[in-house]
Amino acid sequence: MSRYPQMLSPLDLGHVVLPNRVLMGSMHTGLEETGDWNRVAEFYAARARGGVALMVTGGMAPNREGGVFPGAAGLFTPEDIANHRRVTDRVHGAGGRIAMQILHAGRYAYGPDCVSASAVKSPISPFAPQELDEAGIEKQISDIVTAAARAREAGYDGVEVMGSEGYFLNQFLVRHVNRRTDRWGGAYENRMRLPVEVVRRVRAAVGPDFIVIYRISLIDLVPDGSTWDEVVQLARAIQAAGASMLNTGIGWHEARVPTIATSVPRAAFTWLTARLRPEVSIPVIASNRINMPEVAEAVLAQGQADMVSMARPFLADPDFVAKAAAGRAAEIAPCIACNQACLDHTFSGKISTCLVTPRAAHETELQIEPAAVPKSIGIVGAGPAGLAAAITAAQRGHRVTLFDRAAQIGGQLTLAREIPGKEEFRGLTDWFATMIGQSGVNLRLNTEATVAELAGFDEVIIATGVTPRDPAIPVEGGQAVSYVDILNGTVTAGPRVAIVGAGGIGFDVAEFLTQRGTSPTLHPADWMREWGVGDPASSPGGLAPAQPEPPARAVTLLQRKPEKPGRRLGKTTGWIHRAALAAKGVRMIGGVNYERITAEGLHITFGAARENPTVIVADTVVLCAGQQSDRSLADQLIAAGRKPHVIGGADVAAELDAKRAIDQGTRLAAGL
């Protein structure tokens, strides 16, 4: 019997029976905007082949003013419909089902023509929306309905009407944005008129044998958001208007509470889905931080939802469902919820992919095929770059030996997984271990590879990684240690700490050193208290006063650049790290010169003239001053006449991260 009987059980929607309870949630990959419809079709077809019951596309704009950004894709012309038909045909040919999300961004649309209930600007947009008049509202409804009808014409199995995350329909629901006094504002019956009318008319347009999902916001996490009674009232009205299912949304995009980042506990918000489920008779779908089959199974087995939605996990592994069904769950490439290659790309105008799986959304370009001539390949370094290269090369039929002087695989990942809120990195190193075993790589740990030892290999790949940079600050006493010794537990820091370097690792170390007890990511109630997540039944929008635990240590984080520390962290996650450290009282100082370290602490000055000498009183000074490539073996090989491939941190240390390392390792091995 399967380990996931609930997840793999069918779901009867009346006119159609879904084969399992897994929905691929909507993600904006940017693929549709490339105009390469073969690539779009292959992206979805790969996931259909992988067994997911139903997919929802990235948000399609119903009209120009509702697009998330100028030029956002939508079904505007017969050519658009024909292009989407290529996608649906390919998905159906692969045995899958796909619904199109209709996303009207309202005041989140990045353009001067954006519209909303009232002219209330969002804090995350530079554009104030125009308040719609009666005719304007009718136009928006009509455009959404037309988009649904065109989706049907294009062969989709259904639509998802986006009504959460603070987008257009959600904006009408709350007084926070809806200041109207006509029949679209004021009393809740009026504020919910728009989403209900949209669903009623969409259903009328598409007929009974078509899936209509409505994405409902369960907890807005903004001031003056919906109350729980309002959420239930809306859910019942949406059901009566003809929706087939309710998908659940958590938090507006402008919320100051993280909702999908890796530090959010797994399945942190399914208690709300569970509360909604008995209020309606149509299936409800749980979402947010469900990333593994056992998490999905638990949500379903506890009766919290009828179906689970996972989005990013299908970037990490298109075969998620097929592997779970085949008893190969350990082989599922895990989504670690880092956002580095998906959402951070989207918000930088780049095509989404996945840190763990660089083929995601690049299926037509990055091919991993059997090697024409199998070779023997020696790889030195079992960090992310070496591991990715080893697995890819072995999967292609090469004979791979992977050396590392350490007793375990993972390289820098073994340090990252010690950070509170980065526990998902454990799943990543576990997955690498499974895949190394499964792909037949000859793993030689505790082994210092030498030039002589590497002589017999057809190809040699050097992935020896990085060594911490010594910032060469004169040490005249006191305790100055590398972040490595702090994170691997060799050294315990004193109660007052100064951190030299405010990059990704400086921030991580500050979180590590201020955390008291176990990580709140593993304790949802603690996490909710820390971030001020309340109950929408008692506080509208579900906001409560944040009550962070007092810090374990007094920490000061420093950098030389005269800018706000943390400015260069991840686009969608940097604010979370900055807010987490602010909550722990971490002092952040930029624009410093490091003069010396003494028993008293870290001595600094400011500016080019080295003015204002100051002592940051500290028992321990932790050095997080970046990295340098470890190229010693590569240099020895080159001196001996070999031509090694050098990848990852050994290649370029500056701003190295696991995303670049895995991508480089995979691409190199795909071409050998």
Binding site for ligand NAP (CB under 6 A): 469, 471, 500-506, 508, 559-561, 569-570, 624-627, 655-657
Regarding 660 and contact with ligand SF4 (CB under 6 A), the answer is: no
Q: Which of ligand NAP, ligand SF4, none interacts with 336 (beta carbon under 5 to 8 A by kind)?
A: ligand SF4
* φ, ψ at 297 (rounded to 5°): -60, -45
- Sort strands 307-310 and 284-286 into parallel, antiparallel or unpaired: parallel
Which residue has the CB atom at the shortest distance from ligand NAP? 503
- Please pick, from the candidates 115, 268, 355, 497, the single residue that binds ligand SF4 as defined by CB under 6 A: 355
- Please pick, from the candidates 31, 45, 238, 337, the single residue that binds ligand SF4 as defined by CB under 6 A: 337
Instruction: Give helix 504-514 / helix 574-583 axis angle, nearest 10°.
Output: 30
CB of 340 to ligand SF4, least distance (A): 5
CB of 309 to ligand SF4, least distance (A): 14
CB of 261 to ligand SF4, least distance (A): 9
Between 146 and 467, whose beta carbon lies closer to ligand NAP?
A: 467
Q: Which of ligand SF4, ligand NAP, none interacts with 342 (beta carbon under 5 to 8 A by kind)?
A: ligand SF4
Which residue in this structure is represented by tokens 């959010």? 264
Q: How far apart are CA 456 and CA 607, in angstroms?
A: 54
- Please pick, from the candidates 45, 272, 316, 497, the single residue that binds ligand SF4 as defined by CB under 6 A: 316
Between 315 and 332, whose beta carbon lies closer to ligand SF4?
A: 315
Between 560 and 571, whose beta carbon lies closer to ligand SF4?
A: 571
The helix/strand/coil state of 239 is helix
- Please pick, from the candidates 109, 161, 335, 637, the single residue that binds ligand SF4 as defined by CB under 6 A: 335
* φ, ψ at 249 (rounded to 5°): -115, 150
CB atoms within 10 A of CB 605: 16
Cα end-to-end span (Å), the chain: 41
Q: Are 264 and 337 in contact (CB under 8 A)?
A: yes
CB of 63 to ligand SF4, least distance (A): 29
**Contact window for ligand SF4 (CB under 6 A) among 126-134, 240-248, 338-346, 404-412:** 338-346
Regarding 436 and contact with ligand SF4 (CB under 6 A), the answer is: no
Between 618 and 624, whose beta carbon lies closer to ligand NAP?
A: 624
Residues belonging to the active site: 167
Please list, residue by residue across 438-471, b when 16 or more beta carbons sit within 10 angstroms of its beta carbon and e when fewer do.
Answer: ebebebbeeeebebeebeebebbbbbbbbebeee
Regarding 662 and contact with ligand SF4 (CB under 6 A), the answer is: no
Token pair, residue 273, equals 């889905």
238 forms bridges with which residues in the sheet?
none
**Contact window for ligand SF4 (CB under 6 A) among 30-38, 175-183, 311-319, 566-574:** 311-319
Q: Are 221 and 183 in contact (CB under 8 A)?
A: no
CB of 320 to ligand SF4, least distance (A): 11
Residues 457-486, interacting with ligand SF4 (CB under 6 A): none
Spell out the alpha helix ranges (H) of 494-624: 504-514, 524-531, 574-583
Regarding 366 and contact with ligand SF4 (CB under 6 A), the answer is: no
Q: At a CB cut-off of 8 Å and minimum separation 6, what does 594 contact?
A: 471, 473, 500, 558, 560, 602, 603, 604
Between 288 and 556, whose beta carbon lies closer to ligand SF4?
A: 288
**How far are the Cα atoms of 391, 452, 471, 671 from residue 459, in angstroms, in the given order?**
15, 14, 35, 12
Between 91 and 338, whose beta carbon lies closer to ligand SF4?
A: 338
Regarding 300 and contact with ligand SF4 (CB under 6 A), the answer is: no
Q: Are 493 and 486 in contact (CB under 8 A)?
A: yes
Regarding 175 and contact with ligand SF4 (CB under 6 A), the answer is: no
Q: At a CB cut-off of 8 Å and minimum separation 6, what does 579 contact?
A: 256
| Residues near ligand SF4, by CB under 6 A | 312, 315-316, 335-342, 354-356
